[in-house]
Structures are given as C-alpha cells and as structure tokens.
Amino acid sequence: MFYFLSKVLYALVAPVSIIIILMLIYAFTRIKSYFYWALGLLIFFTNPFFAQVIMGWYEVAPVVIKKDQKYDAIILPGGFVTNYEIEGQLRVNFSDGNDRMMQAIDLFKRGVSKKIIYTAGSDTIFGAFRAEAEMGRLFLLKCGIPDSCIIIETKSINTYQNAAFTQKLLAKIDPNYASKKYLLVTAGFHMRRAKACFEKAGIPCDTYSTDLRSIRNKDSVLNTIIPTYGGLQNWTILLKEWIGMVVYEMKGYV
C-alpha cells in the first residue's frame, strides 16, 4: 500500500501535474491568475539553467577510484531494467538510468571489486515477468561477469527495501558483513537517499555517483536558455527525491 500511495503522491506533485491542475482550474473558473501561474511554472520548469544549477547542488559529486582502492562488493540498486516477452522470449529493456550498470561493470572489470550485489525486485503495480535483478544478472553474465561474482536480491521494490533486504542477505552470507567495504553505485540524484538507507541498515558504503544530469547540455549558452523537456524532467526527479527523503525520515528509514 505504501508503495502504491507513494507513486500516486509523486504523480500529483510532478511539475506537469501541477501545471495541468492549474490549467483545469482556469478552464472551469476563467480566473486568469491560474493561467498566469501555469504559464510561469511551465517557463520556469522547462528552463534548463535553473534545473541544472539545483540538480548540481543536490547531486552527490562523482569521485575517482584510485588503483589501490578495493571493495568487498559493489552494491547496485535497480530501477532501470524492465522486461517483456516477444514470441516466447524474454527481452531486457533498459531505461535512461542504466549508466549505473555500465559503471558497475566497468568498476568490476578494473578490479575494484570481485562481487556485484544487484538489488531489485519486480514492479508490483505493472507486474514485470521476472524480478529486475534476475534479468539484470543475465545481462551481467553476457558482459563476462562470472556467475560466482554476482549476488542478487529479488524482493525489494523501493530504496528502503533495497537496503533492508540486502542487509538480511549479507547477514546470511557473512556474519561479519558490517566490517566490510562496500561501494554504492547509483545515480547522483538518488545517492543521498540511497546512502542514508544503506547506512541506516548497517551497511557502511562509499559512493560512486552515475547518471550525472547536472553536467548535460553545457556545451553552449543556447542550451541553457532554450526551454527543454530535460529541464522539466530534472525538476520532476528532484521533487520526487525531496519528497522521498522527507517521507523516509518520517518513517525512520534514514
């Protein structure tokens, strides 16, 4: 129920939803202030400059992993893989957030860690055919990651559960898990909430931010002025993260 309600809340406070609600109120009342508010918010939310500045402030900065830095495991939270069936065959479908998987594979190939912990279940609303971590594991195998180096957690459906269920899994595998070194690999905008959840669960971890949205489209002045969907998308992500952090603090998840 909490998962479903959180999705509804995120949808209601999304910039597009707010603008649509204001326009609907204007359509039925003809009170011009609602129209001006909708227009003003549309201009503001689609401006890439403001979106990138705030995103850059909120994102956890990327780090450079030195050659001598080693970790007992790379923790990879899901949320970027779905699957669908074509003529009896399951196919993996990646979203634009799959940079974290590519970075995790790169880190593994560079010898930063010999283990990847992939934590992601299936969407209970839309009912994916299989847990995301199961499908992601198949892709990791195709990329040359040995099966013995992959640990999957297949029940979690949000960031809190990613951390809580990973902790339970690690406790079964190694009683001394809390003394090990972990590298958390996720999107920069998601890192604050994710790190807080994992450390609350007793899993100390360093951060490795991916999918850095604040550095996109900075190659020209025009790209910071012309209204874009990217600006709107960044604000949608930020509002979701801020609300998520507040709710998690209220529930004691972080």
Domain containing 206 — which CATH number? 3.40.50.620
Residue ranges making up the domain that contains 17: 2-59+225-251
* 165 and 119 within one domain: yes
* 122 and 43 within one domain: no
* 153 and 187 within one domain: yes
* 134 and 89 within one domain: yes
Q: What pLDDT sits at residue 7?
A: 72
* 3 state DSSP class of 84: strand
* 194 and 77 within one domain: yes
Local confidence band at 13 (pLDDT 50, 70, 90 cut-offs): confident
* 169 and 97 within one domain: yes
Number of domains in the chain: 2
Question: How many Cα neighbours within 13 Å face the side chain of 178?
Answer: 7
- What distance in Å separates the CA atoms of residue 59 and residue 186, rounded to the nearest whole number? 11
Local confidence band at 225 (pLDDT 50, 70, 90 cut-offs): confident
Residue 204 lies in a domain: yes
Q: What pLDDT sits at residue 131?
A: 87
The strand pair at 150-153 and 116-119 is best described as parallel
Residue 220 lies in a domain: no
Q: Put residue 144 in one of left, alpha, beta given phi > 0 → left and psi -120 to 50 → alpha.
A: left
- What distance in Å separates the CA atoms of residue 25 and residue 40, rounded to the nearest whole number? 15
- What distance in Å separates the CA atoms of residue 93 and residue 108, rounded to the nearest whole number? 22
* Phi, psi torsion values for 208, nearest 5 degrees: -140, 95
* 13 and 43 within one domain: yes
* 90 and 178 within one domain: yes
Say which residue, 207 or 223, is predicted with more confidence.
207
Residue 7 lies in a domain: yes
Residue 243 lies in a domain: yes
* 162 and 37 within one domain: no
- On average, the pLDDT of the chain sits at 89
Residue 187 lies in a domain: yes
* 102 and 42 within one domain: no
Local confidence band at 240 (pLDDT 50, 70, 90 cut-offs): very high
What pTM was estimated for this model as a whole?
0.89
Q: Tell me if 167 sits within 8 A of 203, measured CB to CB.
A: yes
* 175 and 84 within one domain: yes
Residue 68 lies in a domain: no
**Beta bridge pairs of residue 118:** 76, 152
* Phi, psi torsion values for 24, nearest 5 degrees: -65, -40
- What distance in Å separates the CA atoms of residue 156 and residue 193, rounded to the nearest whole number? 15
Residue 32 lies in a domain: yes
* 147 and 47 within one domain: no
% of the chain at pLDDT higher than 90: 69
- What distance in Å separates the CA atoms of residue 215 and residue 236, rounded to the nearest whole number? 17
